[in-house]
Amino acid sequence: MTAPWWQNGVIYQIYPRSFQDTNGDGIGDLRGIERRLDDLVSLGVDAIWISPIYPSPMVDFGYDVADYCAIDPRFGTLADFDDVLMQAHRRGLKVLLDFVPNHTSDQHPWFVESRASRQNQKRDWYIWHDAAADGGPPNNWISDFGDSAWEWDETTGQYYYHAFLKEQPDLNWRHPAVRAAMYDVMRFWFDRGVDGFRIDVLWHMVKAADFPNNPPNPAYRPEMGEMHRLLQLHSTDQPEVHRIAAEMRDIADGYGARGQGERVLIGEIYLPVDRLMHYYGGERPEVHLPFNFQLIDTPWQARALAAVITSYEAALPLGGWPNWVLGNHDRPRVAAKRGQAQARVAAVLLLTLRGTPTLYYGDELGLSDVMIEASQVRDPRELREPGLALGRDPVRTPMPWDDSENAGFTTAHPWLPLNADWPTRNVARMSEEPQSILTLYRRLLALRRNRRALSIGNFVLLNVDDEMLVYERRHGSERLIVALNLGAQSHRLPLPDWGRGSRVLLSTVADAALVEDGALLLGSNEAVVLEAG
């Protein structure tokens, strides 16, 4: 049986404000994405996920949606979107949208109605609650962006709940009309031909019906951000969310046939692995890919990584397909966190583990977190809890395409500053450099496309010690060995019998890796892919 595209393909996340501007307003747009589709094809990815492009007051840069079935004029029109979709499909690229079901913007007509009066027919579409006896918020729940998650509404004399900003009221998913309306939104985009959704904060969608206080977090330290003062025991990951995920899956499965046309659902879920696994579904399937964010936070050590990989593999339910991520628009960039040499090793890891990889735009250039002056801060996360390094602007900066003005991103003033090294760290320049990380990504993606062992093959851990992580990927008679040296010392790795005579297909370090006398010689921070001889 052939694997569906979302299992053997590679997903590429586009943060649309920062990808390519075509109308000279300093903000990326849909025509910009269309213009860059060929670059994505030449990079070698299979699908794009576009962060939200819907009409929005942009208080949380599009994650505050005011209309789910339209395009924000800053990004273009519905016709522009249809063009992107058609042009992407013509090139064999799938297109995923970001679905933000947990909350709307406070400017969404549903919320405008809901807050108009207690009698309004949309009142219960959101989560309203009387004040506590002392007049304060109904319980102790904290917004993920700090402070109480409840906002007092003077007009109707009740509080409403917002897991994020007060401009992002949470929908009441216990209400059947809300579910029906949001499922229609999914159908609207599926009918246009989108290939799937990344579902924003899926584990947040249902809250305990009686709103008990959340317990304190014993591991809390102030630098973590105020949200971590409590454990989100009652405000997230409630059993009823699984029925919703299953209903969403039913809708997705109703479209397309198996194979080519299959629509995919990816859930944004920050939970420990045992909880995460529930989102694959039990009796009823739920999301195809509950995002696995573990590589972002695991210490950069061979044993720690091996433990994460093997425990994740072991925890997968029958038929559950793995996935891996190095970064996204909310988390520090891999190059900033690990270093440049390590970012190359991380690229090998991401693209040779078993499971669907999602790349974050710019990581293929080794883009680092960009220093943002206080006066340039745009992210509400940073504005609300400054100085804790929680802000996300540093990872959302414009894509540097070439060495022309503003790196070819815009003819205007870019909405966030470019990386200071853009004259050399840009797509055009690095495409010409045989040793650039961009060239490494291209080669890895091409190798992965040509060797099924790398995309759908079995995973076997061969060896782990303090610095080395070695595994095999096998499919039929195809056997590849991936060896990562995470340390600063060189290593000599004896190869198994069948590995003798194997050859190096790819290395992160120019001409360094050698197979000699049945052993592999690896330099510091070098990763290689070998083919058995």
Q: Which two tokens stand for residue 182?
A: 């949001």
Identify residue 220 by its one-letter amino acid code.
Y
Nearer to ligand GLC, 292 or 502 (CB): 292
Nearer to ligand GLC, 200 or 382 (CB): 200
The least distance separating ligand GLC from the CB of residue 109, rounded to whole angstroms, comes to: 19
- Cα-Cα-Cα-Cα dihedral sign, residues 497, 506, 301, 15: negative
The least distance separating ligand GLC from the CB of residue 468, rounded to whole angstroms, comes to: 34
134 is catalytic: no
The least distance separating ligand GLC from the CB of residue 501, rounded to whole angstroms, comes to: 47
Helix (H, G, I), strand (E, B) or coil at 281: strand
Nearer to ligand GLC, 63 or 312 (CB): 63
Classify residue 175 by burial, with Cβ atoms within 10 Å: 0-12, 13-18, 19+. middle
One of 98, 262, 382, 393 is an active-site residue; which one? 262
Nearer to ligand GLC, 224 or 510 (CB): 224
DSSP 399-419: P--SSSGGGGT-SS--SSPPP
Nearer to ligand GLC, 99 or 324 (CB): 99
The least distance separating ligand GLC from the CB of residue 201, rounded to whole angstroms, comes to: 5
What is the radius of gyration, based on Cα positions, of the chain?
A: 24
262 is catalytic: yes
Report the distance separating Cα 414 and Cα 396, nearest Å.
12
Q: Which residues pair with 528 in a beta bridge?
A: 483, 507
Helix (H, G, I), strand (E, B) or coil at 383: helix
Nearer to ligand GLC, 145 or 401 (CB): 145
The least distance separating ligand GLC from the CB of residue 40, rounded to whole angstroms, comes to: 21
The least distance separating ligand GLC from the CB of residue 151, rounded to whole angstroms, comes to: 16
3-state SS of 318-332 is CCCCCEEECCCCCCC
Q: Which backbone phi and psi does 479 adopt, to 5 degrees?
A: -130, 120
Report the distance separating Cα 12 and Cα 399, nearest Å.
13
Helix (H, G, I), strand (E, B) or coil at 11: strand
Nearer to ligand GLC, 63 or 110 (CB): 63
Report the distance separating Cα 116 and Cα 119, nearest Å.
8
| N-term to C-term CA, the chain | 27
Q: What DSSP character marks residue 364?
A: G
Nearer to ligand GLC, 124 or 330 (CB): 330
One of 106, 144, 200, 268 is an active-site residue; which one? 200
Q: Which residue has the tokens 């997903």?
A: 11
Report the distance separating Cα 449 and Cα 451, nearest Å.
6
Q: State which H helix or E strand residue 190 sits in.
A: helix 176-192
The least distance separating ligand GLC from the CB of residue 379, rounded to whole angstroms, comes to: 9
The least distance separating ligand GLC from the CB of residue 171, rounded to whole angstroms, comes to: 12
Listed residue (102, 402, 105, 111) closest to 236, CA to CA: 102
Q: State which H helix or E strand residue 250 sits in.
A: helix 241-253
Q: Rule CB under 6 A: which residues touch ligand GLC?
A: 60, 63, 100, 164, 200-201, 268, 329-330
Q: Which backbone phi and psi does 19 adopt, to 5 degrees?
A: -95, -60
The least distance separating ligand GLC from the CB of residue 48, rounded to whole angstroms, comes to: 16
Query: Number of helices and strands (H, E) in the chain?
Result: 16, 19
Q: Which two tokens stand for residue 92?
A: 């064999």
Please, are residues 327 and 360 in contact by the beta-carbon 8 Å criterion? yes
Find the residue with minimal CB distance to ligand GLC: 63
Q: Which residue has the tokens 């307003």?
A: 25
Identify residue 522 by its one-letter amino acid code.
L
Nearer to ligand GLC, 144 or 262 (CB): 144
The catalytic residue positions are 200, 262
